[in-house]
Structure 1
Amino acid sequence: MDPHLLSTFVTVVAEGSFSAAADRLGYTQPAVSQQIAALEADLGVPLLTRRPVRPTRAGERLLEHAGPLLLRLRAARADVARLSAQPRALTVAAGPLALTADTAAALAGVTTLRIAGAATAVALVASGEADLALADGPAAPSDPLNLPDTGPLTTVGVREEELVVVLPEGHPLAGRPGLRLDDLADALWVDAPEVMPLDRLRAVARLDGLRPGIRYEGHDPAVAARLAAAGHGLTLLPASAAPCGVRVPLVAPRIVHRVELVHAALPPGPAAEVVRALTS
């Protein structure tokens, strides 16, 4: 399977039209149509309906493979390029909840900080767009995060922290010494995909429910806490990242907020010094 054709297919699906994909890729529309036709001929099945442009059942299945396959190809290219790479300014990709005062202090020598979710941060390292990633998310104690398979990267646990449920003042559960997540499954929640994604929380807790009350698309955990404190929905945050509202420890299921450092092979120099500072 030609990865160039696969990349074009992913772009057509993302843009929802052949013409928009052509504009994004810098091709003509007939060229994009020819590439999709070549991929369909190679696989022997139609991958897209034309009006409207949507993936067929086979196309949806191919999409499940496409992201990891294309990422692994970018990762392979970046891994080989690192063997002869010259020293450069350091870039770190990190989740907003991964940045405590201690981790920020350890970033001496870093030129660029990119805020990104765990999967995106790891993909940036794998593809050579970032030198280090601080990936974070909910996990069972001592369990690794569920990160994408990107090839030969090193992952080291940096810290784990207790999670608290943030409630508004006067909430009926505000006086509890601890809360169980299954008791809150029918409550409304702040849906903050860049801070504490509800889908990841459901997966880790093996729990349905957790209905969104308001959606917050920013990166600031303090905003998610303020929305919860104002009664727009509950939220779950590391204790150190919840500056307001009533904070009640989560006692079941046993879930912590975990931060992991992800990096490729590092030569001696600034990047290795940052790794030592973060893992000491």
Structure 2
Amino acid sequence: MDPHLLRTYVTVARLASFSRAARELGYTQSAVSQHIAALEADLGLPLLTRRPVAPTPAGERLLEHAGALLLRIDAARADLDRFAAAPRATLTVAASPLALHPRVLAALPATGVTLRALDRDRVPAAVATGEADAGLVDGVAAPSDPLRLPDVAPLAATRVAEEPLAVVLPAGHPLAGRSGLRLTDLVDARWLDAPAAGVALDRLRAVHGGPAGRGFRTALRYEGADPRAVVALSAAGHGLALLPHPVTEGVPGAVTVPLVSPRLVHRTELLLPTAPAGQAERGGRLGEFTHRLRG
């Protein structure tokens, strides 16, 4: 299966248009049509209907594989490029919003840095494909357990920080006076769903292990990346939130109660591409950053 043809197919399916895909890819519309026809001939199946442009059942199944296949190809190319690459004078770090721990910010070089905020799920791919030199990703885990990250390429993960988790409530909430809270006591509460700036409700459901789809109802969904906004929304009565304890402090009207069961922490990890065998220690801004962060 030719990856160039596959990439064209994914673009056409995403845009639902041969002409728009041609403009995005820099091809003629005729070339895009030829790519799709060649891929269909190779697989012996129709992948797209033409009017309207939409994936067939076989095309839908191919899309389930295509993203991972193309990502692996891009990661392999970036990995091989590192054999000849000299240390870079600039540094690009991809980070999920809650991964910006004070230790991380203190370790960044004073100049030559681009800090790129991405969703948690996109950070490993950004490092694997060379879009970023390093990544910082956060998540919920049992104490001292590594995060479960997608297997997109050989990446080295190092713990940067582990912090306790706290439930954020408005000051007048009936549970605000508790010394600790168990997740099982909060299944029927109304929650803020903030997948980028807090612990996503899907994760709470998975940790709780109850019946599929049960509990942790969404009162309000916040699609921004500012954890302090999540705390303020909770203080205003728009639902409970689960956040690393240091983030929750200092917002008027918000009360934080430690999560005592299950035993979970908020973990931040540094992601780096594994160095090719025999390659010298990383230099440049990346070497400076990792040395400070691990020091």
TM-score, normalization by structure 1: 0.91
| 1:16/1:53 contact within 8 Å kept | yes
| 2:134/2:271 contact within 8 Å kept | yes
Counterpart for residue 225 of structure 1: 231
Cα separation, partners in 2 of 1:170 and 1:51, compared to 1, 3 Å? farther
| Identical-residue share of aligned pairs (%) | 61
Q: Report the AA paired with residue 290 of structure 2.
A: V
Counterpart for residue 261 of structure 1: 270
CA RMSD of aligned residues (A): 2.1
Deviation of the 1:66 alpha carbon: 1.6
**1:138 aligned residue (133, 137, 140):** 140
Deviating beyond 6 angstroms after TM superposition, the runs of 4 or more aligned structure 1 residues are none
| Alpha-carbon distance in 2 for matches of 1:41, 1:187 | 54
**1:199 aligned residue (199, 202, 206):** 202
> What SS class does the counterpart of residue 195 from structure 2 fall into?
coil
| Alpha-carbon distance in 2 for matches of 1:231, 1:176 | 18
Q: Does 1:92 align with 2:93?
A: yes
Which structure 2 residues correspond to residues 87-236 of structure 1 after superposition, within 5 A? 87-88=87-88, 89-109=90-110, 111-196=113-198, 197-207=200-210, 208=213, 209-236=215-242
For structure 1, list consecutive stretches of 5 or more residues without a partner in the other structure: none
Counterpart for residue 47 of structure 1: 47
| Alpha-carbon distance in 1 for matches of 2:17, 2:183 | 42
Q: Which moved further from structure 2: 42-51 or 127-136? A: 42-51
Deviation of the 1:52 alpha carbon: 4.1
| 1:166/1:247 contact within 8 Å kept | yes
- Higher Cα radius of gyration: 2
| 2:92/2:132 contact within 8 Å kept | yes
For structure 2, list consecutive stretches of 5 or more residues without a partner in the other structure: 276-280
| Alpha-carbon distance in 2 for matches of 1:27, 1:46 | 22
Residue deviations 1:69-106, cap 9 Å, x none? 11111111111111221332111111111112221001
Q: Report the AA paired with residue 24 of structure 2.
A: R
Cα separation, partners in 2 of 1:40 and 1:183, compared to 1, 3 Å? farther
TM-score, normalization by structure 2: 0.86
Residue deviations 1:155-178, cap 9 Å, x none? 111111111111111112212222
Cα separation, partners in 2 of 1:111 and 1:73, compared to 1, 3 Å? same
Q: Report the AA paired with residue 83 of structure 1.
A: F
- Give the length in aligned residue pairs: 280
| 1:140/1:204 contact within 8 Å kept | no
